[in-house]
Amino acid sequence: MNSKDWDVKYEWKAVALMSLGFGLVGVDRFMIMPMFPVMSKDLGLDYQDMGYIAASLALAWGVASLFIGNLADHIGRRKVIIPALFLFSLLAGISGLATGIGSLVVIRAIMGVADGAFVPVGIAATVEASHPKRHGMNVGIQQMAHPLLGLGLAPILVTQLLQYVSWRWVFLLVSVPGLICAYLAYRVIRDRDPRTMAVHSVTHDVTEHKWTDVFRYRNILLNMISFLCWLTCIQVTGALLPNYLTDYLHLDLQQMGFVLSAVGLGASLGSVAMPAISDRVGRKPVIIISVLGAMSFLWLMMEAGPNPGQLFFYLFMCHFFNFSSICLTVGPITAESVPVKLMATATGLIVGTGELFGGGVMPALAGFVAKNYGIQYIMHLAMGGLLLGLMVVLCLKETAPCRVK
């Protein structure tokens, strides 16, 4: 494709908006974690309750992704993206009105539906707006916003705000940016002509397909398993990591916020750097290196003591590599493997199944393990997920345009 004929202006507007939207999804989802030690005292919650709260959002997210990705392939991206942005922003603020575990679970579950609708369709919209030579980089930029805002900025901001305002007000403050983003998406995002979008897939196929046709492509089945593994790592360590740091390693609230910010900062850099490299050297070698790196630094963190500096570095590097794997799995490897008319369907299927099991079942299991055996053992669940993921990615088929003629 001639780069001079590509609408670069729209590409960067669309990537910027989809990045902001995904970043706000991250804020809405993860800001509850550093607030949980404070919320648990106010609402009488325990470790198992935290697992239920995280699981309710993830399960709803997974179910919505399974079905709404396919819907967007038929009705277009705009009709899904704009309502989803509006709804999850509104519900994030309503979380501040919760009175106990029951209302929190219900609110977060409904918010998960909106999040699950936005994520696969937002990824597909980003790929479709991007020049094929920039698939990895642009999806990486979009994916970077999720940990940068949700796991990097939010823990520091939230723990500082809690010194001045109630946790309820912290929730309510996050609605405004999301509503503004929904309006901007209404003004900018447009549905693309499928006939011109064949360049985004190694199949170059623009015909209509049944949703079950995604199972004809080996990478989709493999990605369903591997994404579950990456989410097991981030969800198990993420949902209960604040309590692991404060209760097991006995860090104070500010030290916990500092260490936890490493997840978002490392994930942000890894989400861009490694996928951008994959645009030049291929997807498969980069994702294999990423899994090995995540496993190595998770093991180092498991052996580390209550040293905030060491914990920050090990956690930073673990999620640098883990989020590289996430980005490559849900982004270019999936989108490039299927016909354009199945792009959002395939992405939704992978995100949905990953969230249902890696994001829904595993946090609840981690909560059970932490409550009954000790919170330190949650790290073994994350390591097991990465080990399974390594075996899966060794079987992937290469899709990068630089390696596929």
Is 98 part of a structural domain of the chain?
yes
Question: Who contacts 104 (Cβ-Cβ below 8 Å, separation ≥6)?
Answer: 43, 53, 95, 98
Q: Which residues of 50-84 are buried (b: 16+ CB within 10 A; e: fewer)?
A: bbbbbbbbbbbbbbbbbebbbbbbeebbbebbbeb
Is 264 part of a structural domain of the chain?
yes
The CATH number assigned to the domain holding 25 equals 1.20.1250.20
Domain span holding position 385 = 3-393
Is 181 part of a structural domain of the chain?
yes
Tell me the pTM: 0.77
Amino acid making up residue 168? R
Tens of pLDDT, residue by residue, the chain (405 residues)? 555 567 788 889 999 999 999 998 888 877 887 777 788 778 877 777 777 887 788 788 888 888 888 888 778 888 999 999 999 888 888 888 878 888 888 888 898 899 888 988 888 888 888 887 888 889 889 988 887 887 777 777 787 888 888 888 888 887 888 889 999 999 988 876 666 665 555 656 556 768 788 888 899 999 999 998 998 888 777 667 888 888 888 888 788 878 887 887 888 899 889 999 998 899 999 999 999 999 999 999 988 888 888 999 999 999 999 999 999 998 889 988 888 778 888 988 998 888 777 766 777 788 788 888 888 888 888 898 899 999 999 999 998 877 776
Is 55 part of a structural domain of the chain?
yes
Is 398 part of a structural domain of the chain?
no
Is 200 part of a structural domain of the chain?
yes
Is 405 part of a structural domain of the chain?
no
**Are 129 and 14 spatial neighbours (Cβ–Cβ below 8 Å)?**
yes
Is 226 part of a structural domain of the chain?
yes
**Are 344 and 230 spatial neighbours (Cβ–Cβ below 8 Å)?**
no
Specify the number of domains making up the chain.
1
In terms of Cα–Cα distance, which of 363, 398, 359 is closest to 60? Answer: 359
